[in-house]
Amino acid sequence: MRTVLLTCLALTSVAVLPVTVAAQEAADAVAPEGVSRGEITSSSAAVAASLAAKGAGVPVEAQNWMIAAANPYAVEAGAAILHQGGTAADAMVAVQTVLGLVEPQSSGLGGGAFLVWYDAQTGAITTLDARETAPMDATPRLFQDEAGEPLKFFDAVVGGRSVGTPGTPALLEAAHRKWGRSNWGALFEAGITLAEDGFEVSPRMAGSIARDADRLGRFSATAEYFLPGGTALQAGDTLRNRAYADVLRVLASEGAEGFYTGPIAADIVRTVQEAAGNPGVLSALDLALYKVKERPASCASYREFEVCGMGPPSSGALTVGQILGMLGGYDLAALGAENPQAWRLIGDASRLAFADRGRYMADSDFVPVPAKGLVDPDYLASRAELLSGETALAEVSPGNPEFDHAGLVPLWADDTSIEFPSTSHLTIVDQYGNVLSMTTTIENGFGSRLMSNGFLLNNELTDFSFRSHRDGVAIANRLEPGKRPRSSMAPTIVMKDGAPVLAIGSPGGSRIIGYVATAIIAWADWGMNVQQALELPHAVNRFGTYDLEADTAATAMEPALSELGYKVNIRDLNSGLHAIEIGESLKGGADPRREGIALGE
Ligand code: GLY
């Protein structure tokens, strides 16, 4: 084993949708995270048992608390906090700071996140928006060339141009202030110890580095960390990161202010503004002004459930809610999980929802979003009538939801933003009955590839539409200074009779929406337990093409779905669902496609 030391550190119609599809599908083809289904080794019996249960359709069961997340080191750190009486918010701080170290390609201090919280004392659900934010010096044409044409995706991503103001450090503090019970400084101990003593590089992390070596090699700090001596880190290598430990110490002693001002902030700004070949415009003022925004949850009805999650700037809850809301009048339970007609309904409901998403969903602090109208039961019932045929819809267009505000209804063009399947999801229930569902990201695998202070900086600004207008009509998700890019992240809490019954979410770019919606259907309609629901082979449709998960039973539907009129594509579908069912006991599930586990007590 090697030891590595880091010392310092659209207009109305279908006509425009194929453009979006082509851009998204071209981008999908070069996603660096890819699939690595290796095994993590661990000496802990509980971790080993949880790893063994994964893939066998058996949830982890406990009475008091439960945690499910993407890496055993992170889950163990959170479990220790919960065992000591900490809340889900306390545990989240430990989990996120360890994830940023051991799964740095997916999330971290240089990124952003959305957190959905069910409060056991008040019975209320609220959300915290810690999305990265466009710098004040950024313009709507940031990702266009001199002729106004969109840049190629990785020309935009790699370097300083794509870096938005990080939100995750502020989120840790905001969540702890609102809902924490544990000593703040103690929540960083696991991360500091692992960063200094070293941790084993996982197969997934090593695979991601190997696939992205050319881009990681472009910047010296990034190359020295991930490709020491010019060779990519291997699974099983011991990796240390003293710069990261130093940042955690600053957070522990000074709080988030120590991140957003002072030497850490200065190094972030320098790294972005001096990025060779592709500098960005993030400034010290952008960092100093960053704020987490508390927003009401966005909820939609599905059968006897209320499905609640993160509203704008995420499209997650609205699009998941639209899909489920349209399907509420169809008997998916009677059709069953293997019936192509069930998947026709799900696939076309999803296409209709994605058409609305491309037209209407963006940061509602900057553009009017019909957030209530999009999940209004009458509106969804009228959209659901379009599903009453027996073959795939030939054409899909956005609908006309009612806008929340009075006055002129804005005209938006359909957008062309591309999202990649990076990101990480964690779900926690504490012994007090609080529930946390949080999806966290630096956007692309390894974000902008720029490293500052031992962590990677995000490329979240590329979640904005690269085009600002189409045929003279503005796109809702165009870049504007201070705006937050539209997301697909869908951290979700499902309620029944006013109590939480399921908490779930996933990484996966815009496929997050399909992963979450179908896992909820599998659990609610097809009688699957939470682990079986996460293991269900994926079939996802966003823009017309049906993606079926390679090497799974889903591929058997290819002839039937083709017959129904869909173009079918067989491919890896790299979800990372983590979920907890809340009933007489707690049942935790972890996606077998990634390295995570569930632990409870
Ligand atoms: N960057 C992934 C998302 O926000 O959906």
Question: What atom in ligand 1 is closest to the CA of residue 316?
Answer: 5
Q: What is the pLDDT of residues 551-592, one digit of tens each?
A: 999 999 999 999 999 999 999 999 999 999 999 999 999 999
Question: What atom in ligand 1 is closest to the CA of residue 489?
Answer: 5
Q: Identify the band that residue 53 occupies on the pLDDT scale cut at 50, 70 and 90.
A: confident
Quick check: is 59 in a domain? no
d(Cα 601, Cα 596) in Å, to the nearest integer?
A: 17
d(Cα 461, Cα 141) in Å, to the nearest integer?
A: 12
Quick check: is 107 in a domain? yes
Q: What value does the mean pLDDT take over residues 323-328?
A: 98
Question: What atom in ligand 1 is closest to the CA of residue 512?
Answer: 5
Whether ligand 1 lies within 6 angstroms of the CB of 463 is answered as: yes
Co-location of 378 and 430 in the same domain: no
Quick check: is 204 in a domain? yes
pLDDT at 29 over 70: no
Quick check: is 439 in a domain? yes
Other CB atoms within 10 Å distance of the CB of residue 516: 32
Quick check: is 125 in a domain? no
Whether ligand 1 lies within 6 angstroms of the CB of 489 is answered as: yes
Domain boundary among 449, 474, 499: 474
Whether ligand 1 lies within 6 angstroms of the CB of 487 is answered as: yes
Co-location of 175 and 279 in the same domain: yes
Whether ligand 1 lies within 6 angstroms of the CB of 132 is answered as: no
Nearest in space to 576 (alpha carbons), one of 419, 425, 447: 425
Whether ligand 1 lies within 6 angstroms of the CB of 419 is answered as: yes
Residue 16, pLDDT score: 26
Residue 20, pLDDT score: 40
Other CB atoms within 10 Å distance of the CB of residue 92: 32
Co-location of 305 and 287 in the same domain: no
| CATH number, domain containing residue 519 | 3.60.20.40
Question: What atom in ligand 1 is closest to the CA of residue 463?
Answer: 1
For this structure, is 423 an active site residue?
A: yes
CB 426, CB 68: distance < 8 Å: yes
Number of separate domains in the chain: 2
Ligand 1 pocket test, candidate residues 363, 512, 516, most atoms within 8 A of CB:
512
Tell the residue nearest (CA) to atom 1 of ligand 1.
443
Co-location of 354 and 221 in the same domain: no
**Residue 409 or residue 356, greater confidence:** 356
Ligand 1 pocket test, candidate residues 28, 415, 423, 457, most atoms within 8 A of CB:
423
Q: What is the pLDDT of residues 163-219, one digit of tens each?
A: 999 999 999 999 999 999 999 999 999 999 999 999 999 999 999 999 999 999 999
Q: What is the pLDDT of residues 69-97, one digit of tens each?
A: 999 999 999 999 999 999 999 999 999 99
Co-location of 502 and 378 in the same domain: yes
Residue 185, pLDDT score: 98
d(Cα 56, Cα 53) in Å, to the nearest integer?
A: 5
CA of 424 to the centre of ligand 1 (A): 10
Whether ligand 1 lies within 6 angstroms of the CB of 488 is answered as: yes
CA of 277 to the centre of ligand 1 (A): 25
Host H or E run for residue 82: helix 72-83
Residue 491, pLDDT score: 98
Quick check: is 27 in a domain? no
Ligand 1 pocket test, candidate residues 487, 492, 516, 574, most atoms within 8 A of CB:
487
Q: What is the pLDDT of residues 350-387, one digit of tens each?
A: 999 999 999 999 999 999 999 999 999 999 999 999 99
Question: What atom in ligand 1 is closest to the CA of residue 444?
Answer: 1
Global confidence as pTM: 0.92
Domain boundary among 414, 439, 474: 474
Distances (CA, A) of 16 to 281, 360, 421, 464, 599: 31, 15, 23, 17, 46
Q: Identify the band that residue 46 occupies on the pLDDT scale cut at 50, 70 and 90.
A: confident
Q: Identify the band that residue 409 occupies on the pLDDT scale cut at 50, 70 and 90.
A: low
Q: What is the pLDDT of residues 203-253, one digit of tens each?
A: 999 999 999 999 999 999 999 999 999 999 999 999 999 999 999 999 999
The parent domain of residue 359 ranges over 295-390+487-600
> Which residue is listed with tokens 């060339």?
145
133, 165, 416, 423: the catalytic one is 423
pLDDT at 12 over 90: no
CA of 443 to the centre of ligand 1 (A): 6
Quick check: is 492 in a domain? yes
Q: What value does the mean pLDDT take over residues 466-475?
A: 89
Co-location of 167 and 311 in the same domain: no
Quick check: is 437 in a domain? yes
Co-location of 511 and 466 in the same domain: no
Whether ligand 1 lies within 6 angstroms of the CB of 423 is answered as: yes
Least confident of 52-56, 268-272, 353-357, 534-538: 52-56
Q: Identify the band that residue 417 occupies on the pLDDT scale cut at 50, 70 and 90.
A: low
pLDDT at 7 over 90: no
Co-location of 582 and 519 in the same domain: yes
Average predicted confidence (pLDDT) for the chain = 91
Residue 349, pLDDT score: 98
SS (H, E, C) 445-475: CCCCCCEECCEECCCHHHHCECCCEECCEEE
Co-location of 322 and 465 in the same domain: no
DSSP three-state, residue 343: helix
Co-location of 303 and 358 in the same domain: yes
CA of 62 to the centre of ligand 1 (A): 31
Residue 407, pLDDT score: 60
Co-location of 532 and 587 in the same domain: yes
Co-location of 98 and 108 in the same domain: yes
Domain boundary among 453, 474, 495: 474
